[in-house]
Chains A and B, each alone.
Chain A
Amino acid sequence: MAMDNTTSYSGLVNQGNLPDKPAPINTEGLGPWVRDNLFNGAFNSVLTISSFLLVLYTLPSALNWLIFNAVWSGGSDACRVNPDGACWTFVGSRWEQFLYGFYEKSERWRINILLAILAVGIIWLAWEKAPAKKLMAFFMLVIFPVFSFFMMYGSETLGLPIVETPQWGGFTLTLVIALSGIVASLPLGIVLALGRRSNMRVISLLSTIFIEFWRGIPLVAVLFMATIMFPLFLPAGVTFDQLLRAVIGVALFASAYMAEVVRGGLQAIPKGQYEGAMALGLPFWKMMRLIILPQALKIVIPGIVNTFIGLFKDTTLVLIIALFDLLGIVQASIADPNWSIKSVPYTGYAFVAIVFWICCYSMARYSRYIEDKLHTGHKR
């Protein structure tokens, strides 16, 4: 196209910057929030209203049963008179059993000490600015379990009377099984995951067989095998504590799941990370420990905590092999004729549900917090 001599294209030159203007639609405050989240469209409005009605219909009666109509004081007679509310006095009169099981009354101080150390340890490790964290982690993961065993089981040399494991029970037993499972399953799961991805065929095959074996059978079957079948394989006269067998079964079962979670994380690490580490001369295990695993585990924190929560709740299954964890002991207490009242079973199960929910939700919240903390700005 030929251009006229007198007019020439001058381009665009923008002098100065345009001022910032407020957004045309208000996106902050309660009104817009309600509009955007509850009533954006006909379908969502119907959903909101029906959900609201459902809550309105169920919540008052639930609260009445749990709190306002509940029996908070008195004995079993008070509950017999008022069958339409939770019987919290049942929990109140039995809480020691729920916590300690059949553990010798005179020796319960030993459990109290352990629970106190556990609480301090968890808070210490969860608290971001706490000093000497590595030392504390070492203490909690290595020394504390051994110490706990001797405290709970007892030792002649230490002057602590032996308390046999069938006497262990209640929430303490739940913690023993769950924490042993958690502490054992993570390292075992990591080793299995690395094994499954190994270039060495035999190691990879063995890890895969192990994982698929434990994932393929139900936990109930594992517990039955540990209790009934395992002793058959042992030479006569050799006994193996039943609780220990159950704990090992739970730990191995959980580690198979953990291995697959960790493997998912390992697969998400780009090849370049391995190459970067290798090019710097890092040997395999250092590369894994310093570069690959920190990143892989961070990615799968939700999956790891998911497995922990599952494991924590699965501990209730030990009641089928006659171990009385929290659920088991509550169930046993319900059968007490003195408390054969309509509201007692409901109360007992509600109590168990609340305790488990608090534990599991705490784990979930903590995992969220850790995820946020480990966020280093490379994911946007």
Chain B
Amino acid sequence: MELDQNQQKTAAMQVSDEAVITIADMNKWYGQFHVLKEINLKVHRGERIVICGPSGSGKSTLIRCINRLEEHQQGSINVDGIELNNDLKNIDAIRREVGMVFQHFNLFPHLTVLENCTLAPIWVKKMPKKEAEEVAMKYLERVRIPEQAHKFPGQLSGGQQQRVAIARSLCMSPKIMLFDEPTSALDPEMIKEVLDVMIELAHEGMTMICVTHEMGFAKTVANRVIFMDEGQIIEENEPEQFFNNPQSERTQLFLSQILAH
């Protein structure tokens, strides 16, 4: 995470060949319902992937499998060399490396913004409180709300809360960030402030997987756009190709629907 200025510039927006997440032949069922079918996906370090698709297509479920908020039943998921299985140690290790931002923020309402940010560093990473607070303030400044540090989440607007949620994740210095429809619950005038923070993060070289309907964001920062429908990956391409020259009919239909207005 901590790169010096020069490295940061060269590292920015560059994708290495090294795969940081490898998902192979992964399947998942809810009871008898087959939600994820034969998922194969390699994410490289520094890569920014946008996953889109109609609701119920399994895109959220897919990224929630990566940090074991959902359990897959078949196939394998490997995150930064750690195999995701039923071993709690591995699950904890993966969760320490993977940050997640949710549609409904999931901030802890009984803790202040600062406490939300310092909780995991203190209790999971055993960081001294003072150091954790310094780190938290650094990231709160990065998401441009240091002045709200001592307020409770309930006193902030949706956009501010989502930025706190991003800062909270960053405080754990994750190698990978997962975004699960981070702007879907926000009022239109607040979407931009959250996207700006995400774009900045992308420019700094963070590996990101975003489930989102913000096609503008996908065009600006994504290396790859993945389209899912009915639990399968239907199409996968560079944004330019994906938007201008979609191959599958389902992709064309989806794009025509969301880009129509």
Q: Tell me the A residues contacting B by CB distance below 8 Å.
A: 272-273, 275-283, 286, 290-291, 294-295, 298, 374, 376-380
Contact = CB atoms under 8 A, between A and B. Distances in A.
B106 interface: yes
B124 A280 contact: yes
Query: 7 closest Cβ contacts across the A-B interface?
Result: A378-B154, A276-B106, A281-B95, A378-B109, A280-B120, A279-B100, A272-B106
Nearest to B119: A290
Nearest to B152: A376
B99 A276 contact: no
7 contacts: A273-B108, A279-B169, A280-B169, A290-B119, A291-B119, A378-B110, A378-B153
Nearest to B153: A378
Contact of B67 (A279, A286, A294, A298): A279
B124 A281 contact: yes
Interface residues of B, number: 29
A275 B106 CA distance: 8
A282 B169 CA distance: 12
Nearest to A374: B110
A276 B102 contact: yes
A152 B104 CA distance: 54
Contacts of A275: 69, 102, 106
Contacts of B168: 280
A275 B61 CA distance: 13
A278 B95 contact: yes
Max chain A CB contacts within 10 Å: which of B104, B108, B153? B108
A279 B99 contact: yes
Interface in B112-146: 119-120, 123-124
Given A277-B108, A378-B109, A378-B152, 18 more contacts: A273-B108, A275-B102, A276-B102, A276-B107, A278-B69, A279-B100, A280-B120, A280-B168, A281-B120, A282-B124, A295-B110, A376-B152, A376-B154, A377-B155, A378-B154, A378-B155, A379-B154, A380-B154
Interface string B89-110: 0001001101110101111111
A278 B96 CA distance: 10
Nearest to B104: A272
B172 interface: yes
Contacts of A272: 102, 104-106
Nearest to B154: A378
Nearest to A281: B95
Interface string B64-101: 00011100000000000000000010001001101110
Contact of A276 (B88, B108, B155): B108
A298 B95 CA distance: 28
B177 to A, nearest CB: 11
Contacts of A278: 67-69, 95
B124 A377 contact: no
Contacts of B124: 280-283, 286
B106 A290 contact: no
Contacts of B68: 278
Nearest to B70: A275
A377 B95 contact: no
B92 A281 contact: yes
Given A280-B95, A280-B168, A283-B92, A290 B109 contact: no
B184 to A, nearest CB: 14
Contacts of A279: 67, 69, 95, 98-100, 102, 106, 169
B102 A377 contact: no
A298 B106 contact: no
Given A377-B155, A378-B154, A282 B106 contact: no
Contacts of A376: 109-110, 152, 154
A286 B120 CA distance: 10
Contacts of B92: 281, 283
Contacts of B69: 275, 278-279
Nearest to B103: A272
A294 B106 CA distance: 15
A280 B100 CA distance: 8
Contacts of A379: 154
A26 B171 CA distance: 53
Contacts of B100: 279
A273 B111 CA distance: 12
A301 to B, nearest CB: 13
Given A275-B102, A376-B152, A378-B152, A281 B96 contact: yes
Nearest to A298: B110
Nearest to B92: A281
B26 to A, nearest CB: 19
Nearest to B106: A276
A366 to B, nearest CB: 19
Contacts of A286: 123-124
A213 B122 CA distance: 41
A2 to B, nearest CB: 28
A283 B108 CA distance: 16
A273 B106 contact: yes
Nearest to B95: A281
A113 B229 CA distance: 73
Contacts of B102: 272, 275-276, 279
Contacts of B108: 273, 276-277, 291, 295
A266 to B, nearest CB: 14
A281 B172 CA distance: 9
A55 B241 CA distance: 84
Contacts of B106: 272-273, 275-276, 279
A291 B124 CA distance: 13
A295 B110 CA distance: 7
Contacts of A298: 110
B150 to A, nearest CB: 12
A280 B119 contact: yes
Contacts of A276: 102, 106-108
